[in-house]
Chain A
Amino acid sequence: MSDEPHRALEVEGLTVTYRRGQGSLDAVRNVSLRIAEGQAYGLVGESGSGKSTLALAIMQYLPENGLISGGAIRLAGQELATLPGEQMRQVWREQIKLVPQDPGSSLNPSLRIGDQLDEALSDGGETRGGVRERSLEQLRQVHIADPERVAASYPHQLSGGMQQRVLIAMALAGQPSLLILDEPTTNLDVTTEAAILDLVCELVQSHQTAMLYVSHNLAVVAAVCDRIAVLYAGELVEDLTPEQLRSQPLHPYTVGLLDSLPRVGQRAGVDPLLPIAGNMPRLDEVPAGCVFAPRCPIALQLCHELRPDLEATQQGSLVRCHRWREIQAGAVDLRAARPANVTAPDESLSGKIALETKDLVKHFPVRRSLREALRRTPPRSVHAVDDVSLQVGQRRTLGLVGESGSGKTTTARCIVGLVERTGGEVSLFDIALAPGLDGRDAAVLHRLQMVFQNPEEALNPHRTVGDVLQRSLERMRGLGKTEARQQAGRLLEAVRLPPSYLDHTPGQLSGGEKQRVAIARAFASNPDVLILDESVSALDVSVQASILNLLTDLQSEQGSAYLFISHDLAAVSYLADDIAVMYLGQVVEIGPTEQVLQPPFHPYTEALLSAVPRIDAAAGIERILLSGDLPSAVDPPGGCRFHTRCPRLLGEICRTQAPPWQQAAPGHRYRCHIAPNELAAMQSPAFRDHITTVSP
């Protein structure tokens, strides 16, 4: 006891049970964790693995139907479960703090930020002014530049990133001995995520607080934490350090998670992702043996029968696997055991342009107020898309990246005709397309399809998968009922789903499966061009990886061209032959993927790139933080639109003159006042090294 570091938190054999209807399920089973003072502990796992449940159990704040049915939770040696209400409140006030997953709903929408902070800080003995002073100090601590303004704001007036900072400030208020962050960045932009991660790291170091950091992204956890626990279906399967994670993870699940994560520069055709097959088991019917066995590429008979124990390795990590020793010894190859039937894209057919936009413009008019109308203030508009010219070659993939609000979705919707463009042209194989859907004939419609972002809304919840596909086939290919039904089966097969799914309703499918069906539906007409708008962003890493692979396969089978939209540069670069980077309605950089990922890049691209969380702690890549939020698209900044946030701002010229297109390499252009060679010199050569290391 004496030689061990002081424990901030001890979780011993924790089991959490949810009542559900008549039955019940154990969402967390026999989990033990120890977090020392000043230690940052990461908790990863797919969606539904029980991360939030564990976090809330530690907080002693489970939903009404939840119950700690076994084990103990001790905070600084004190058992929490037995604490009376008043003392637990004391603990909440002073010792443990939670930063919740969804910042938007975690702040009271009708109280000012300052008041909500004051509440967390005040202990009753202080004057109001004194408390407010400390609140402002707290805001400054989380790098909020203008704390007075923020304190006087209501939550809805702040961006997601700012809200998250406020919540972190709130959590740090009482100098807690334990800080739990539950997916604090999951719904945020990459750039914002990066900033928050930096902040968390910094705070943990300066405060010496014990921290439990929950995420489904291994790269994020690895970047922040000293130690990582991997949770699968409510069980702890591995507990290791980031170094061990990088060098030698021992559990097949951990390895699977790692291999599902695209790294910047990794290319589909060359170095495919290796996603974990299958789905997590339902928690009310956990398999008898190893929980991971059904999905494990190297599972033995034993694994299906006997539940492995959590064993300690010589290196001090913990692992729950029958075969960890063999893995450690390199006796089994986890990767070879998995089929990676990815075919390299066929470069020969490229050349023809499948989809082209010329100077595409979309302005949404802003409603004028009565007073403005009377004063004849000229009508204003949201410059959602400004002069965007893109080309997608036949059988090729163009990736479109940019922060939230940069106009990616609007571009896509203008192309397919869901939104009528304000100006410019769109053509499909030289056929000019009418702005609206009504003006396009069926043949054209069928050649251009789109898959939407939110898998939950992708399918009509009231129709079976079979109905959905059949209807598309009847409609777009003019097939009869029986034939359509057979074809529907084939389509399902194409997206690697069993034919039995024809009778499933969307409610019975996981998010990834829904997205597969949506893709199958889009492929019903064999489209020439398929637009994918953030189609994988909402999915777990492993699911995302398998869909990315599916898309590559389908492209090589069907020969469609893709416009692939994402805010995640890693995912885009994995799939795309060419990349276009959008900022505030404009394309700021465009070119072949390899080129765009190598210096010189547009400063904005550089920032995006540096923000991507990396497992391998980025040898020498310095993070480029963008200051402030995306400016309003109603009155976009004059000159270079990026000048308000640009880390490489030259000066007056950027503010007043629109930058010219600079040619970095053949086919690779960017919009900046800085010439290619100068720009390259400013930028970290580590990028180039880093990228070349992954792409052979």
Chain B
Amino acid sequence: MAGNTTGGGSQPASLATHERRALPAVFTRWWHALRELYARPSSALGTTLVLVFLAMALFGPLIAPYSATEQISGAARQAPSVQHLFGTDHLGRDVFSRVVLGARDILALAGLGTLFAVVIGTLIGLFSAYRGGLTDEVTFRFFDSLLALPALLLALLVLGVVGPSRNSVLVVLVIVYVPIVARVVRSVVLSTKQKGYVEAARLQGESTASIVRRDIFPSVTPALTVEAGLRFSYAIFLVASLGFLGVGVQPPNPDWGLMVSQARPYVSLTPWALYFPAAAIALLVIGVNLAADGLKRVMLPGREV
């Protein structure tokens, strides 16, 4: 270290230290963020819930005593017991296993949908808003029109067109959320565009791509992270609602919304098959919301909305 500061040292060495320092820096950032999240009871609760569900998604097969689709013969419609913590459903599937294994599904689906929407929305928002002009105007008019359609309605229409499947749900999430994400990004870009350092870069003849990537994008990330968290929680809800309406993920997937919807006619026979997945949805939504709130505090300090 000391050698490095005097006389500049050899370049590769200094680059290497740079790298080495950068890696833990990321970790410490996350560690720091996590600690801040745990500084408050509500966001601590939210983060814990999210982490629990995340663990379920990752280690589900290790936790779940049965597979999600196994119809245990002779064990249909059993009330919760030691064998079947959450009971079994009308076909004799273990509800606990299905709830646990369903976590991966919903997290992956809502997560991927959010991710795609965020990536696409960010790209559109960044370039369109930075360039400005007519294309920007037209793009966002179009997005406004999409936003004028209530999300669930739009989702139903789109799913009607592309047919129900896991991929369709992804498509729907993207279509429904890209305009929203793009709008958020755009608003940040429009304010960042005016900043001195962006103008300085322009004065130095930087290319648009480089300015967008190096100067504008980093300012978008906090708002984007927060928005992504928010979108994620809505995505969970939307996926569940679509599952319930039977136009989303297909049976026999342990999709929570689908489970609730399938258990509904059986509510007087197997209430547990309905209430446990419903509770899982609620807890995850609560968790993501509270965690997103906390994330907002960490990422956008001093801003409440």
Contact = CB atoms under 8 A, between A and B. Distances in A.
Q: How large is the interface on A (under 10, 10 to 19, 20 to 34, 35 or more residues)?
A: 35 or more
A44 interface: no
Across the A-B interface, the 3 shortest Cβ-Cβ residue pairs: A462-B218, A452-B196, A457-B196
B203 A460 contact: no
B199 A418 contact: yes
B195 to A, nearest CB: 4
A459 B197 contact: yes
Given A457-B197, A468-B197, 11 more contacts: A445-B203, A452-B199, A457-B195, A457-B196, A459-B196, A460-B218, A463-B218, A475-B204, A475-B206, A521-B200, A525-B204
A463 B200 contact: no
B205 A475 contact: yes
B214 A460 contact: yes
Contacts of B215: 460
23 contacts: A416-B203, A417-B203, A418-B199, A418-B202, A437-B202, A445-B203, A448-B203, A450-B200, A452-B200, A457-B195, A457-B197, A458-B196, A458-B197, A459-B196, A460-B214, A461-B218, A462-B218, A472-B204, A476-B205, A485-B8, A489-B8, A521-B200, A522-B200
Contacts of B196: 452-454, 457-459, 518
Interface in B201-240: 202-206, 214-215, 218-219
Nearest to B10: A482
Prevailing SS type, chain B contact patch: helix
B202 A446 contact: no
A243 B215 CA distance: 51
B73 interface: no
Nearest to A453: B196
A445 B205 contact: yes
Which among A416, A437, A460, A522 has the highest number of chain B CB atoms within 10 Å? Answer: A460
A457 B215 CA distance: 12
A695 interface: no
Nearest to A471: B214
B81 interface: no
A653 interface: no
Contacts of A508: none
A449 interface: yes
A445 B199 CA distance: 12
Contacts of B218: 460-463
Interface in A458-505: 458-463, 468, 471-472, 475-476, 482, 485-486, 489, 500
Contacts of B203: 416-418, 437, 445, 448-450
B268 interface: no
Given A460-B218, A463-B214, A475-B206, A482 B200 contact: no
Which among B8, B205, B215 has the highest number of chain A CB atoms within 10 Å? Answer: B205
Contacts of A457: 195-197
Contacts of A461: 218-219
Contacts of B205: 437, 442, 445-446, 475-476
Nearest to B197: A460
B251 to A, nearest CB: 47
A476 B200 contact: no
Nearest to A445: B205
A489 B204 CA distance: 19
B145 interface: no
Interface in B179-207: 195-197, 199-200, 202-206
Interface residues of B, number: 17
A629 B205 CA distance: 39
Contacts of B195: 457
A511 to B, nearest CB: 13
A50 to B, nearest CB: 21
Interface string B148-179: 00000000000000000000000000000000
Interface string A424-449: 00000000000001000010011011
Contacts of A475: 204-206
B109 to A, nearest CB: 32
A483 to B, nearest CB: 10
A486 B8 contact: yes
A463 B206 CA distance: 16
B221 to A, nearest CB: 8
A368 B202 CA distance: 31
A486 B9 CA distance: 11
Contacts of A486: 8
A528 B94 CA distance: 78
A472 B5 CA distance: 23
Nearest to B12: A482
Contacts of A521: 200
A15 to B, nearest CB: 26
Contacts of A485: 8, 11
Nearest to B218: A462
Contact of B11 (A460, A482, A522): A482
A524 B5 CA distance: 23
A445 B200 contact: no
Interface in B4-29: 5, 8, 11
Nearest to A454: B196
A418 B193 CA distance: 12
Interface in A500-548: 500, 518, 521-522, 524-525
Nearest to B39: A21
Contacts of B8: 485-486, 489
B204 A446 contact: yes
A476 B205 CA distance: 8
Contacts of A445: 203-205
A446 B202 CA distance: 11
A74 to B, nearest CB: 35
A171 to B, nearest CB: 27
Given A457-B195, A460-B218, A518 B202 contact: no
A489 B14 CA distance: 14
A467 B149 CA distance: 45
A273 to B, nearest CB: 25
A521 B11 CA distance: 22
A140 B195 CA distance: 40
B40 to A, nearest CB: 13
Interface string A370-396: 000000000000000000000000000
B197 A476 contact: no
Contacts of B5: 500
B287 to A, nearest CB: 25
